[in-house]
Structure 1
C-alpha cells in the first residue's frame, strides 16, 4: 500500500537522509538513507514490496531483513500519526 504523509507533516532532505517535522507537535524524525529510500518509494506510489525491492537493490541487505525494516518504519510512521 502506498503511503501518504499527514497534512501537517513537512519533509526536508539533508546530507544524511530526510527529516520529517510534525507541525502539530513540533516533533521531528530523522530518517537515515535506508528510511529515506523506503519513504520516497512509498510516497511515489510504490507499495511495501516495491520498497523492499528498492532496499535489496540499493543496499547489502537480504529480503527478510528489508521486509522487516519496511514494516517497522511504516508501522512507526502510522502509529505516530505522521502517515496513513
Structure 2
C-alpha cells in the first residue's frame, strides 16, 4: 500500500535539508537532507520504491538500509498526520 503526503504541506529546501510546513495548523518540521529527498520523491509521485532508489543513487547506502530508513520516515510522517495510505 502506497503512502501519500497530504496536499496541505509545503516543502522549502534549505542548505541543510528542508522544512516541511503543515498549512492546516502552521506546524513545521526540519528535515535532514536524506529525509528531504524521501519527501521530494513522494511529492513527485515516485513512492516508496522511488525514494529508496533515490537514496541509493545519491548516498553510499545499501538498498536494505535505505528501505528501512524510508519505512521509518513514512511511519513517522503517518503518525504525525502528514501522510496517509
Aligned residue pairs total: 83
For 1:51, the equivalent position in structure 2 comes to: 51
State the match for 1:67 in structure 2: 67
Structure 1 stretches (4+) deviating beyond 3 angstroms? Answer: 23-26
Q: When you count strand as a share of all residues, which structure comes out higher?
A: 2
Q: What is the rounded CA distance, in whole Å, between the counterparts of 1:51 and 1:11 in structure 2?
A: 16
Return the alpha-carbon distance in structure 2 between the equivalents of residues 42 and 52 of structure 1. Answer: 11
Gapped regions of structure 1 (runs ≥ 5) = none
The TM-score, its normalising length taken from structure 1, stands at 0.84
Q: CA deviation at 1:7?
A: 4.0
Q: CA deviation at 1:16?
A: 1.0
Q: Which runs of 5+ in 2 are unaligned?
A: none
Instruction: Calculate the TM-score normalised by the size of structure 2.
Output: 0.83
C-alpha RMSD over aligned residues: 1.6
